[in-house]
Amino acid sequence: MKTSEDIKKMVADKYSEIAHQSQTENANSCCGVGGCGTVDYAVFAEDYSALKGYQSDADLGLGCGLPTAFAKIKTGDKVLDLGSGAGNDCFVAREIVGELGKVIGVDMTDAMIEKARTNADKLGFNNVEFRKGDIENLPIGGNSIDVVVSNCVLNLVPDKNKAFQETFRVLKPGGHFSVSDVVLKGNLPEDLKNDAEMYAGCVSGAIQLDEYLDIIKNAGFKNITVQKEKSIVLPKEIVAQYLPEEALAKYYDSPDFGIYSVTVYAEKAESCCDPNSNCC
């Protein structure tokens, strides 16, 4: 890994490539786009098909949870999806908010924005909007969003402190978020931590769960809750490409290390100002 800009370019390039594949292609190409040199995204993905509003054309199988199912979205809400991809979570959220609500998806990848807008046009939705933008500097006004969701994206953001500060900024007082993400417990082997493919595959960009929750707290959020936690086991044929045999055995036998998919909920207080000041 190099600079933040290098990381962002690598992620954007990888997900631009993924945008041109279907969910089936991503799941069946051994390890996602690019062949077996990267992580199998199907290991992380959850089944959306039972959720109302689900659109198969918008599901690229890249998530690691079902944040919209936990997000307490109501009719008429204004919802923001961070890293909206082809629009999967946005269309599920739109089913809940109805015609009186609004859903905005933000993604930094042109190919994903184009795919999402095409899907929205096919569905005839006039209250679902997709904007190109950086999660560390959201193209969204402050105090304007009721609910934020995100699915396996924030682990890809180099500056997670800034990402959650921006989430806090755009939420209305009394608003909340529910995000699914990949986190760690214990130390990730260095050969995995330093690999660009593992970063794009949501592994080496993941941080410790305790650190993740502290970042959320330090951004000003209250009532932080882990709504769901699921252990993720990477296939040996993938991990073996990065670790020597001795380290590979240690990786799978260690009781002190794990990769997890978590869905985390938190609220912005009803009346609050900048979390860095003393008036909250």
Average pLDDT over residues 229-244: 84
Do 150 and 64 touch, CB atoms closer than 8 A? no
Average pLDDT over residues 143-152: 97
Would you say residue 280 lies in a domain? no
Q: Which residues pair with 41 in a beta bridge?
A: none
Average pLDDT over residues 192-217: 77
Higher pLDDT, 199 or 212: 212
**CATH number for 135:** 3.40.50.150
Query: DSSP string of 255-270?
Result: TT-EEEEEEEEEE--S
What six digits make up the tokens of 219?
């951004």
Its domain, for residue 143, covers 4-267
Q: What is the pLDDT of residues 111-140, one digit of tens each?
A: 999 999 999 999 999 999 999 999 999 999
Angle separating helix axes 209-218 and 160-170, nearest 10 degrees: 40
Would you say residue 183 lies in a domain? yes
In angstroms, the CA 31 to CA 25 distance is 10
Would you say residue 275 lies in a domain? no
pLDDT band per the 50, 70, 90 thresholds, residue 33? very low
Q: Which amino acid is at 51?
A: L
Average pLDDT over residues 36-50: 66
Residues 6+ apart with CB under 8 A from 42: 26, 27, 32, 61
Q: What is the pLDDT of residues 64-90, one digit of tens each?
A: 899 999 999 999 999 999 999 999 999
Residues 6+ apart with CB under 8 A from 154: 82, 83, 135, 160, 163, 164, 179, 181
How many separate domains does the chain show? Answer: 1
Sort 210 into a burial class: Cβ within 10 Å, 0-12 / 13-18 / 19+: exposed
* Lowest-confidence pick of 50-59, 94-103, 174-183, 261-270: 50-59
| Assessment of whether the complete model's pTM goes beyond 0.75 | yes
In angstroms, the CA 206 to CA 41 distance is 15
Q: Which residues pair with 260 in a beta bridge?
A: 183, 231
pLDDT attached to residue 201 = 55
* Lowest-confidence pick of 142-146, 176-180, 269-273: 269-273
Average pLDDT over residues 88-97: 97
SS3 148: strand
